[in-house]
Structure 1
Amino acid sequence: MTVRRTMFGRPLRSVAFDVAVAGAVALFGLAGAVNQPGGWAATLVGVGMAVALLFRRSHPSAVTVVVAALAVVQVIAQWGPLAYDVAVLIALYSVMKYGERLRDGVLAGAVAAVGVLLAAAQTPGVINYWVTALWYALVTGAVWLVALNVRTRRLYVVSLEERASTLEREREAESRAAVAEERTRIARELHDVVAHSMAVMIVQADGARFMLDRDPEQARTAVKVVADTGRQALEEMRRLVGVLRDAGPTGAGGPVVAADPEHRRLALAELPDLLARFRDAGLLIRHTVDGEPPMLPPGLELTIYRVVQEALTNALKHAGVGAGVELALAYTAGAVVVRVVDDGQGRPLVSPPPSGGHGLLGMRERVAVYDGSLTAGARLAGGWQLEVRLPLPSEPATEVIAA
């Protein structure tokens, strides 16, 4: 963590620099106290300019007025240009760079132009008046233009910082909205998972009641199915409610409509239909399966289905029609691995299809429910690759036994 030291509410480095600048101007005034025109009176004017420069960042317009007034005193006294008059250029630079309004800087430049003519008139020497005035004008004009350029760049940087801050707030708001939307969808899917489990438990409990006297062994098996299904449903509820805890109550406004295709439970058995739809949309999909698919909890099947759906949707949107996609499902002893790779060589879509979720954010939210991992990124050979690893439950799902 970086600690910024401050003094009087300003960065310590800025305060030290301003003190050094004011000290240099005061030194110019004190160095010529004996020999310069005006003597100690001129020195006091120079010291006054130096003190005013201490506030050039916080009150640039007021500092410019004070320095200009002291310069007018110097002109009226006809002391001519002195070494500490560099304070005039410093004040001009400060009001142009730090002034709240550009008008103050323009007005200061006009006053400085008049001062150039007066200073040239009071400069002793054999050089022509117009040459002296031109030299003073070039120096003053250069300082004014440099300050204008620095002011423009400073305001540009400030605008970029404000824009970046605004975009960051918008991204955070969009992320929160996306998470809330995805959690709402998970809450709706929770109904299907729990309803299915409860239906199985009821069927098996009724079967056990009728078979208790006729076939005790069959009744014990049915009761075991009830217990296993209940534990599985409880685990699903804990995982999903853990994700939804911060999102507030959802789905309390009314019953879920089972006919809505977004609400019905999707399983891996429907994966071929999903691939067929994307093939019809123009993707060249090659699907491989490694290992024997085990019995998976309904929620885990749904997560795999949604991950594949979102990955293929992203491939269609970004790689385009005609892109080659490799979908690989690998079933190992402890996890299910989903890998989707596209070559990025398709044709751009005229009208991109709607996303099945909220991109990687939605997939990460779903994968996190089952303590899985997701990696995604561009390939050196072109295209995009995504890999999801979902750990399998410790005990496989129990097959349903009809009563």
Structure 2
Amino acid sequence: MIVRRTMFGRPLRGVAFDVAVSALVALVSLTAAVNQPGGWAATLVGVAMAVALLFRRTHPGAVTVAVAALALVQVVARWGPLVYDVAVLITLYSVVKYGRRLRDGVLAGGVAAVGVLLAAAQTPGVVQWWVTALWYGLVTGAVWLVALNVRTRRLYVLSLEERATTLEREREAESRAAVAEERTRIARELHDVVAHSMAVMIVQADGARFMLDRDPEQARTAVKVVADTGRQALEEMRRLVGVLRDAGPTGAGDSAVPAEPEHRRLTLVDLADLLARFRDAGLSIRHTVTGDAPALPPGLELTVYRVVQEALTNALKHAGVGAHVDLALAYTADAVVVRAADDGRGRPVVSPAPSGGHGLLGMRERVTVYDGSLTAGPRTGGGWQLEARLPLPSGPATEVIAA
């Protein structure tokens, strides 16, 4: 950690340098008080210029006006150029370098040019006045150009620092947005795991309790489904909790985005296992696939899987065990369409499974990520139907994770 000492809200080194410059100009004025034209009156003018130099960084425009007014007093008194007039060059340098607008430096340069002519006219010597004016002009112009170069470099460095600060803020904002998006994805995945799995387990547990005395074999089958579903849910929960555990604080310069889970994501290959679990849970499912399945982005595959999972879970919860479900997966030239319809004629469960109230909303949000559409509602002949249409990517598949 770098500790910068300050005085009056300014860096201590800058204050010390300005005090040294001001003291040097005042010392020169006091030293030449006896021999210089104007005597102590001229010395007071030089000391006033030295005091004004203390504020050359914070108020360069005001200091320039003050020094120019004091130099005008010197010209009117016809004292000629004196040693402490170096304060004029220091002021010119300061207003060009530290002025808010370059226009102030240009105006100060014009005033300095007039001062050069007046100083040359009052300088005693054997050469012609224009030669002296040329010399003064070269010195003054060199000071102005050096100040302009330093100003340009200073503003360039400030712009780089500001750009770096802006990029840092943008990077932090993007990191926070990525973290929020990942948390949203995990929350929705948790809903899918908990709500769907628990719904199946509750329905099967109630059925096992109801059939325990009447049909022990069917009750054992229901208990097995509960155990298998619980294991599957536990495995997915471990995967998601692992993501949260890996999303701890990172080192400096590292992104705060949670790491992706090491386990593979669910794909359409896993639909067979999903359908098998729901068949074991008591649904009668007819699964048809039409069209050639193209290579889908992982996020789109996960969305199709979750839509099918939600549709079957709703059928089991509301239509009941023994209901028949027609599940169709159609691949067209520009979209993949999921249709699920149940007859609503399953065996009523002992007690209805609780609903989280976010199933259809979650499906709609998933589908919306891919500019798709979702329709769901009761069928005319009884039961429930659902259709989700997901447009296929027009270009190369990109990694988009629907959550």
For this structure pair, what is the TM-score category when the shorter chain's length is used for normalisation?
A: 0.5 to 0.7
- Partner letter of residue 32 of structure 1? A
Which residue number corresponds to residue 135 of structure 1? 135
- Partner letter of residue 118 of structure 1? L
Superposition deviation, residue 40 in structure 1: 1.5
Superposition deviation, residue 110 in structure 1: 0.7
Which residue number corresponds to residue 41 of structure 1? 41
* Matches of 1:87 and 1:117, distance apart in 2: 17
Q: What are the superposed Cα offsets for residues 339-371 of structure 1, whole Å, 9 maximum, x if unpaired?
A: xxxxxxxxxxxx96463248xxx9xxx9xxxxx
Q: What are the superposed Cα offsets for residues 62-116 of structure 1, whole Å, 9 maximum, x if unpaired?
A: 1111111111111122222111110000001111111122222111111100111
Q: Is the 1:190–1:240 Cα contact (8 Å) retained in structure 2?
A: no
Which residue number corresponds to residue 170 of structure 2? 170
- Partner letter of residue 191 of structure 1? H
Secondary structure at 2:4 match in 1: coil
Q: Is the 2:197–2:230 Cα contact (8 Å) retained in structure 1?
A: no
For residues 227-306 of structure 1, the aligned pairs below 5 Å read 228=231, 266-267=266-267, 269=269, 277=295
Which residue number corresponds to residue 182 of structure 1? 182
* Matches of 2:296 and 2:187, distance apart in 1: 27
Superposition deviation, residue 132 in structure 1: 1.2
- Partner letter of residue 107 of structure 1? L
- Partner letter of residue 399 of structure 2? G
Evaluate the alpha carbon distance shift between residue 221 and residue 185 of structure 1 in structure 2; reply closer, same or farther with a 3 A threshold.
Answer: closer
* Matches of 1:356 and 1:227, distance apart in 2: 30
Superposition deviation, residue 199 in structure 1: 4.7
Evaluate the alpha carbon distance shift between residue 80 and residue 352 of structure 1 in structure 2; reply closer, same or farther with a 3 A threshold.
Answer: farther
Secondary structure at 1:277 match in 2: coil
Superposition deviation, residue 136 in structure 1: 0.5
- Partner letter of residue 355 of structure 1? T
1:15 and 2:15 aligned: yes
Which residue number corresponds to residue 26 of structure 1? 26
Secondary structure at 2:175 match in 1: helix
* Matches of 1:2 and 1:110, distance apart in 2: 42
* Matches of 1:353 and 1:80, distance apart in 2: 80
Q: What are the superposed Cα offsets for residues 318-351 of structure 1, whole Å, 9 maximum, x if unpaired?
A: xxxxxxxxxxxxxxxxxxxxxxxxxxxxxxxxx9
* Matches of 2:110 and 2:400, distance apart in 1: 61
Evaluate the alpha carbon distance shift between residue 65 and residue 192 of structure 1 in structure 2; reply closer, same or farther with a 3 A threshold.
Answer: same
Q: What are the superposed Cα offsets for residues 256-310 of structure 1, whole Å, 9 maximum, x if unpaired?
A: xxxxxxxxx8249469xxx98389xxxxxxxxxxxxxxxxxx99xxxxxxxxxxx
Superposition deviation, residue 238 in structure 1: 6.0
Secondary structure at 2:266 match in 1: coil
Secondary structure at 1:13 match in 2: helix
- Partner letter of residue 157 of structure 1? V
Evaluate the alpha carbon distance shift between residue 146 and residue 36 of structure 1 in structure 2; reply closer, same or farther with a 3 A threshold.
Answer: same
Q: Is the 1:57–1:98 Cα contact (8 Å) retained in structure 2?
A: yes
Which residue number corresponds to residue 192 of structure 1? 192
Which residue number corresponds to residue 3 of structure 2? 3
Which residue number corresponds to residue 398 of structure 2? 355
* Matches of 2:112 and 2:47, distance apart in 1: 20
Evaluate the alpha carbon distance shift between residue 219 and residue 182 of structure 1 in structure 2; reply closer, same or farther with a 3 A threshold.
Answer: closer
- Partner letter of residue 15 of structure 1? V
* Matches of 1:19 and 1:200, distance apart in 2: 82
Q: CA RMSD in A?
A: 3.8
- Partner letter of residue 356 of structure 1? E
- Partner letter of residue 169 of structure 2? R
Which residue number corresponds to residue 159 of structure 1? 159
* Matches of 1:223 and 1:149, distance apart in 2: 79
Evaluate the alpha carbon distance shift between residue 236 and residue 200 of structure 1 in structure 2; reply closer, same or farther with a 3 A threshold.
Answer: farther
For residues 62-77 of structure 1, the aligned pairs below 5 Å read 62-77=62-77
Larger Rg: 2
TM-score (norm 1): 0.57
Which residue number corresponds to residue 333 of structure 1? none
- Partner letter of residue 168 of structure 1? E
For residues 51-70 of structure 1, the aligned pairs below 5 Å read 51-70=51-70
Superposition deviation, residue 125 in structure 1: 2.1
For residues 195-210 of structure 1, the aligned pairs below 5 Å read 195-202=195-202, 205=205, 208-209=208-209, 210=211
- Partner letter of residue 109 of structure 1? G
Q: Is the 1:207–1:222 Cα contact (8 Å) retained in structure 2?
A: no
Please, which runs of 5 or more residues in structure 2 have no aligned partner? 248-264, 272-292, 298-304, 307-393
Evaluate the alpha carbon distance shift between residue 352 and residue 113 of structure 1 in structure 2; reply closer, same or farther with a 3 A threshold.
Answer: farther
Superposition deviation, residue 157 in structure 1: 2.5
Q: Is the 1:29–1:84 Cα contact (8 Å) retained in structure 2?
A: yes
* Matches of 1:232 and 1:277, distance apart in 2: 27
Q: Is the 1:52–1:67 Cα contact (8 Å) retained in structure 2?
A: yes
Q: Is the 2:193–2:237 Cα contact (8 Å) retained in structure 1?
A: no
Which residue number corresponds to residue 97 of structure 2? 97
* Matches of 1:225 and 1:206, distance apart in 2: 16
Please, which runs of 5 or more residues in structure 1 have no aligned partner? 245-264, 280-297, 300-350, 367-403
Q: Is the 2:193–2:233 Cα contact (8 Å) retained in structure 1?
A: no
Q: Is the 1:116–1:133 Cα contact (8 Å) retained in structure 2?
A: yes
Superposition deviation, residue 241 in structure 1: 8.4
Which residue number corresponds to residue 399 of structure 1? none
Evaluate the alpha carbon distance shift between residue 182 and residue 29 of structure 1 in structure 2; reply closer, same or farther with a 3 A threshold.
Answer: same
Q: Is the 1:208–1:222 Cα contact (8 Å) retained in structure 2?
A: no
Secondary structure at 1:118 match in 2: helix
